[in-house]
Amino acid sequence: MRNNPFLFTLLFSLFILAIDLYSYQGVKRLLANSTRKVRKIVWSLFWMVPFLLILGLIIFSLSYAVIPPSRVLTYFHFISGTFILFYVPKLVFIIFFLLENIFLYTKSKLFRTRPQDENLNSQGNPISRTQFLSRVGIIMAGIPFLSIAYGIKWGRFNYTVRYHILNFPHLPASFEGIRLLQVSDFHIGSFLNSPKKVEQAVQVINQQKADLLLFTGDFVNNVSSELDNFMALLQKLTATLGKFSILGNHDYGDYYPWDSYAERKQNLERLIRIQEEMGFKMLLNDSVKIQRGEDEIDLIGVENWGLPPFPQYGILDKALQNTQTDTFKILLSHDPTHWDEQVLGKTAIDLTLSGHTHGAQFGIEIPGWRWSPVSIRYKRWGGLYREGKQVLNVNTGIGFIGYPGRVGMPPEITVIELKKG
């Protein structure tokens, strides 16, 4: 889109209209017995959505070059939210309407009747039983509509604290009961219109009384200026032994059309500086000793390392240079694929903390079972994974991007208490 927004607008508009033209045929079939006034009202409401959506997309495309970088995704979320809210349900309805048309066509061929005759009785009125699948489709389409609407209005701000107690045999005695608080994928630019929600998140985090606050990447969507309005608020985050952060794939600004490499580099340097001013110690392929009582552990952080197309800036060997073989080690690595590729069975790292997946911002959770479509892409996508003596926790993120909501995958704050044993 950023390379040719007008071509994107044209193609996306045609896609939208194709969905609407077909789905409206099903709506007309369902309204066949309705009064002319009702059909006119439905027609107006139905076509108002694509009209406003395409108009918004055109305005966004024309204004793209002058929108402040920090605000680009704010405007985009209005468009993406509207599209997902209305067109996912329409696609569900289309499936049922298509099946109904296939049924009517097949029946007409088998019994040598015209497809349109299957919709009419002797008085020329529609036969309700041939509308069964369309009616089911309308009902089924209501489920994603209500779910998506809930995710936009409430779900994305329903902060959930997940508690875990992890036992490690060689955890130093002084670190018994230490509380680690992990936050990931804030995507702070998505909150530019919701500062009160960021304040709420800070309050929830501070209520956990963490010893170590560990942020595992993607503080911003694209640019460092997204943090400008939130610096004073985020400086209030507290942890008794310190706050530490790494970079995620979005933090590098790779998804924004910079005028030059130097401009992109300056943005990244500023982002790092801002996080340091907020009290975070940046771990960029580096490690630090955490002292507690007479003992110490190694806290290690790598830059983003993911499987293509995601960048591989992380250098784990470099990050491990100042660590000892027998010390307890915690690794911060944004992308959970890094654990399987370079950590598990290849290092003595005890606990790895990752994010990145967002849990697709959509999922289903019942006691003992949790699922998200992102599991198709990521083997380790959310929660705890233990292999032998090594543990990975994947935080599904506190923010959102793309779809401005969360359904069944609430914004997550993870508290991990370490025990010796």
Tell me how far apart the 2 most distant CA atoms of the chain are, in Å: 92
Whether residue 272 is found in the same domain as residue 399: yes
Write the pLDDT tens digit of every residue in 316-331. Answer: 999 999 999 899 999 9
The answer to whether residues 397 and 358 touch, using CB atoms and an 8 Å cutoff, is yes
CA distance 175 to 285: 24
Whether residue 185 is found in the same domain as residue 103: no
Whether residue 257 is found in the same domain as residue 353: yes
User: Which residues in 50-209 belong to E strands, given as ranges?
Assistant: 160-168, 179-183
Whether residue 207 is found in the same domain as residue 82: no
Whether residue 177 is found in the same domain as residue 72: no
At position 304, the amino acid (one-letter code) is N
Q: What is the predicted pLDDT for the residue at 208?
A: 98
Q: Concatenated DSSP letters for 108-121?
A: HHHHT--GGGGGB-
Whether residue 228 is found in the same domain as residue 270: yes
Domain boundary among the residues 123, 153, 183 is at 153
Q: Show the tokens assigned to 15.
A: 């896609």
Whether residue 149 is found in the same domain as residue 168: no
DSSP-derived 3-state class of residue 245? strand
Q: What is the predicted pLDDT for the residue at 112?
A: 65
CA distance 164 to 418: 9
H/E stretch holding 12: helix 5-30
Write the pLDDT tens digit of every residue in 240-290. Answer: 999 999 999 999 999 999 999 999 999 999 999 999 999 999 999 999 999
Domain boundary among the residues 153, 181, 198 is at 153
Q: What is the predicted pLDDT for the residue at 93?
A: 96
Q: What is the predicted pLDDT for the residue at 127?
A: 45
In Å, what is the CA distance from 337 to each residue of 183, 291, 308, 352, 356?
18, 29, 11, 11, 10
Q: What is the predicted pLDDT for the residue at 105?
A: 81
Q: Which domain holds residue 280?
A: 159-420
The half-sphere exposure of 181 on its side-chain side, counting CA atoms within 13 A, is: 23
Rounded to two decimals, the pTM is: 0.92
How far from chain centre, in Å, is Cα 132? Answer: 36
Whether residue 98 is found in the same domain as residue 180: no
Domain boundary among the residues 97, 127, 153 is at 153
Q: What is the predicted pLDDT for the residue at 122?
A: 39
Q: Show the tokens assigned to 263.
A: 């401009």
The half-sphere exposure of 366 on its side-chain side, counting CA atoms within 13 A, is: 0
Whether residue 92 is found in the same domain as residue 192: no
Sign of CA dihedral 76, 79, 80, 82: positive
Whether residue 166 is found in the same domain as residue 142: no
Whether residue 24 is found in the same domain as residue 123: yes
Please report, for the domain that includes residue 218, its CATH number. 3.60.21.10
Whether residue 238 is found in the same domain as residue 166: yes
- Name residues of the chain where pLDDT drops below 70: 1-3, 112-130
Number of domains in the chain: 2
The answer to whether residues 214 and 180 touch, using CB atoms and an 8 Å cutoff, is yes
Q: What is the predicted pLDDT for the residue at 336?
A: 98
Q: What is the predicted pLDDT for the residue at 106?
A: 85
